[in-house]
Amino acid sequence: MNSIRSHLLLWQITALVVTGLLVSVITYLLAWDAFNRIRDNGLEQIAYSIVRHGVEYDSEEAVKNDQGQFVSQIWSADNNLIFSSLDDVGPDPQTPGWHRVIWENTEWRVYALKEGGLTIQVATTSASREQKFMAIAPWLLVPFAVLVIVLGLLIRAAVGRALIPLENIRNEIGSRGVASLRALDTRGMPEEIEPLVAALNDLLARLDEALSAQRRFIADAAHELRTPLTAVKLQTQIVRRSPENEHREAALTQLENGVDRATHLVTQLLRMARLEPSANNPSPSANNLSPCAHAIPVDLKELAKQSIAEFSTLAEARHIDLGLLTADPITVLGQPDALLIMLNNLIDNAVRYTPPGGRVDVSVQQDELQGLLTVTDTGPGISESERDRVFERFYRLTDTSDHTGSGLGLAIVRQVVTLHGGQIVLLDTPGGGLTVRVTLPLQK
């Protein structure tokens, strides 16, 4: 189960159990050492007691009871056994002090004391000592069990309490809808969760902005399409009702113009949709700056020639001199189709707004580490007050009588330029007109 709560509990309780076992082992060793010291001290006291008071038993039963706990022996100065609480001789006499000896395949713990020419020796088997200690050893596990149970419950409660902010965030997000994308409140939020909530708030802000832009785009597109479609419907009705061929031909001409305008608008809308960052780079962590997705080396000069050739017929029909003024070999990293759309829109706007007899010049140059694309015309230009707004979708100039445009051309141009990490500026042409200057990073 992939759960933060489960992982925290597993790691913390595992750490608790391992630590508890380590402490229990240390406690066991310390208790065993203390137990041996106490038992050794008891044997030593018995030996001194024998020196002072001798060995006296009230009955044979008392002798047997002592044999179950320790064995006492007294040796003379010439190593003759004077007394032994065992029926047998028992362990051999030792020098004064503590000893571990083997007698009859059994390990004995022996304390020997020499006093008044006598050697008093008190001993007990190691097995007997271990048996007595093991009788009390299980009680050493009681604190360990209590520790694990109590701390386990406290850890579980602490983990649950620590994860309450995450539960609150989940509940708050789960209760929201698309219409409620406001930022989450970060007051009182734990430091570990603040970066997550901040990133989530940033995502919500960008999502809200994207949805708002989408709603505005749909509303504007519906509004812009309504006019040509209404005109198409009106001209269709006129054609149907007109009895004279002359009126019918005029209405058909208007109908064709309306269809062309609607087609142009739909084409521009489809271009803009294809240039959206989400359509070009589906990765949620990617941005929309250069290098864009699916980028390849593009010869900007050849692309400019292709676009000029496409609009040469229209320029000749309008008696406009369209040509490539400067053509340096420039290679940029980008999407050829998107860059061609950008060039087509720039040249289309220049040809559309330049009066008959005017000029439209295209230049491709290298400017330090950037490629410089310039489209210059001798048209009416754009006032400085409107140069920022002309990049907005569906915005049309207020001082022009042309109503055939879609208001999307420059918006698409800026979208392509931004997609490729470039910049675009609008300048006045010396002698009158507009100069559009686009800079794009060169291929490294």
Residue 273 pLDDT > 80: no
**Is residue 41 in some structural domain?**
yes
Q: Same domain, yes or no, for 264 and 324? A: no
Tell whether 166 is covered by a domain.
no
Q: Are residues 301 and 428 in the same domain?
A: yes
Range of the domain at 106: 4-139
Shared domain check, 316 and 268: no
pLDDT in tens, 47-96: 888 887 765 544 455 444 444 467 888 888 888 888 888 776 778 888 89
Residues 309 and 398 in one domain: yes
How far, in Å, are 88, 187, 411 from residue 192 at the CA level? 76, 13, 42
User: Residues 52, 131: one domain?
Assistant: yes
Judgement on whether residues 102 and 34 belong to the same structural domain of the protein = yes
CATH of residue 257: 1.10.287.130
CA distance 106 to 96: 21
Residue where one domain finishes, among candidates 139, 161, 179: 139
In-domain check, residue 180: no
What confidence score (pLDDT) does residue 221 get? 64
pTM reported for the whole predicted model: 0.48
Residue 172, in any domain of the structure: no
Question: What is the CATH number for 368?
Answer: 3.30.565.10
| 261 and 380 co-located in one domain | no
Note whether residue 183 is domain-resident.
no
Do 28 and 120 reside in the same domain of the chain? yes
Domain count, the chain: 3
Listed as own residue / partner, the contacts of 207-212 with beta carbons closer than 8 Å and 24 or more positions apart are 207/181, 208/181, 208/182, 211/178, 211/181
Considering the domain architecture, whether residues 58 and 112 belong to the same structural domain is answered as yes
Which of 105, 122, 139 is the C-terminal boundary of a domain?
139
pLDDT tens readout for residues 397-426: 665 555 455 567 788 888 889 888 899 999
147 occurs within a structural domain: no
Burial of 227 (0-12, 13-18, 19+ CB in 10 A): middle
Task: Tell me, yes or no, whether 282 lies in a domain.
Answer: no
Residue 175 counted as domain residue: no
